[in-house]
Amino acid sequence: MNKKRFFKYKNLPVFSLLFLTACIENAPMDSLSPAGPYARQIDDLFWLTFWIAVGVFFIVQGALIFSVFYFRDMPGKPEPKQIHGNNVLELMWTIIPILILAAIAVPTVRTIFDLAREPEGALKIEVIGHQWWFEYKYPDYGITTANVLVIPADTPVRLEMWSNDVLHNYWVPKLNGKRYLVPGQKTYLNLQADSPDEFWAQCGEYCGLSHSKMRGRVLSLNQEDFENWVNNQKLNANKELPEGTLAAEGQQVYLNAGCTQCHVIDGVWDVQGDRIAPNLTHFANRNVFAGAALKNNKENLTKWLANPAEIKPGTFMPNLELTEKEIEALIAYLGTLK
Ligand code: CUA
């Protein structure tokens, strides 16, 4: 039979390269470079367990290799002493693994409880999973935003999470482990970043066609920048757009082409109740869109508005058959939503 083999020696360089990609430094989704206390606690536990496993590996393999050579059969060599049923040895290899497991279990359980506890003075933010993007609400400030989670640096944040449709999973590798977003049930996750920085998030549970494009960003700001951000987010988008400008035309496209069916812009079209698409009030302030799958720039917006499903298969955003002129106007208007 001529079965195709997955691994061939001539492909070794390819496999080695793939393997080496795991060693890239400063990768945005690197779970081995924690940037906050929660992620660091998990990291510490990982390394403790890792080094214990390394010790076990070398002791067991060492004993095996030693036995293979020292007790190998040779002409004239008597059979080595048999140890089957030796009580002392049996006790030893029962007790030692118990001690090793205890050495791992105690800090593991402590970490689980530490990570689950609600931190004092934490900022509360709601995270709602949608196919395929994350929505964020700040109940203390009355803010609704999407894709980019903005948090104050060096301050604990308590996420209260659920899903609007199917199972999702919230994961910011540099700030904490994963946590499920469940329809009809709340789950909680703590985040804290040491300093102002940008982190990547990813949905960690297969949730449909565009699961891999359900990404996010976490932006941690220093206290002053965060307060400015909050104050700006509280403003609505009801500002004068000089008549005849492209942006004013774009606002008419937003109001009349069908966008308002799903997208709220506070002060312009703010229907009460939950909508299935991101709130666009401060769209221009976010550096990514479409579930953080795309950088927020004119080129990407043009592609997206012309045919959303080409970029995110299965997306609920319909192709509105907008003309090039309408798309250009809409992008000019979106640019004013700061
Ligand atoms: Cu949401 Cu995968």
Q: What distance in angstroms lies between residue 166's CA and the mean position of ligand 1's atoms?
A: 8
CB of 214 shorter than 6 A to ligand 1 = yes
Residue nearest atom 1 in ligand 1 by C-alpha distance? 168
How far separated are the first and last CA of the chain, in Å rounded?
65
CB of 203 shorter than 6 A to ligand 1 = yes
Q: What distance in angstroms lies between residue 181's CA and the mean position of ligand 1's atoms?
A: 9
Sheet holding 148-152, edge to edge: 148-152, 215-221, 197-203, 168-171, 179-181
Length of the chain: 338
Cα–Cα distance list, 106 to 46, 113, 198, 300 (Å) = 13, 11, 33, 50
Q: What distance in angstroms lies between residue 279's CA and the mean position of ligand 1's atoms?
A: 19
Q: What distance in angstroms lies between residue 144's CA and the mean position of ligand 1's atoms?
A: 20
C-beta contacts of 226-234 below 8 A and 24+ residues apart: 226/150, 226/151, 226/152, 226/153, 229/150, 229/285, 230/138, 230/141, 230/143, 232/282, 232/285, 232/338, 233/138, 233/141, 233/143, 233/145, 233/281, 233/282, 234/141, 234/142, 234/143
This prediction's pTM? 0.86
Residue 214 CA, closest ligand 1 atom number: 1
Torsion (CA) 93, 99, 105, 108 in degrees, nearest 10: -120
Question: Given this model, what pLDDT does residue 269 score?
Answer: 84
CB of 135 shorter than 6 A to ligand 1 = no
Q: Of 175, 150, 171, which Cα lies nearest the Cα of 161?
A: 171
Q: What distance in angstroms lies between residue 7's CA and the mean position of ligand 1's atoms?
A: 31
Question: Given this model, what pLDDT does residue 226 score?
Answer: 97
Question: Given this model, what pLDDT does residue 14 score?
Answer: 85
CB of 211 shorter than 6 A to ligand 1 = yes
Contacts of 249 (CB under 8 A, 6+ apart): 329, 332, 333
Q: Of 86, 272, 43, which Cα lies nearest the Cα of 173?
A: 43
Reported as a single tens digit per residue, the pLDDT across 253-279 is 999 998 988 999 988 887 766 678 999
Residue 169 CA, closest ligand 1 atom number: 1
Question: Given this model, what pLDDT does residue 213 score?
Answer: 95
Residue 132 CA, closest ligand 1 atom number: 1
Q: What distance in angstroms lies between residue 182's CA and the mean position of ligand 1's atoms?
A: 11
Q: What distance in angstroms lies between residue 104's CA and the mean position of ligand 1's atoms?
A: 31
CB of 326 shorter than 6 A to ligand 1 = no
Residue 129 CA, closest ligand 1 atom number: 1
Question: What does pLDDT average to in each consecutive run of 10 residues of the chain (338 residues)?
Answer: 68 83 79 94 96 96 94 88 89 94 95 95 96 96 95 97 96 96 97 96 96 96 97 89 90 92 88 79 94 94 94 93 94 94
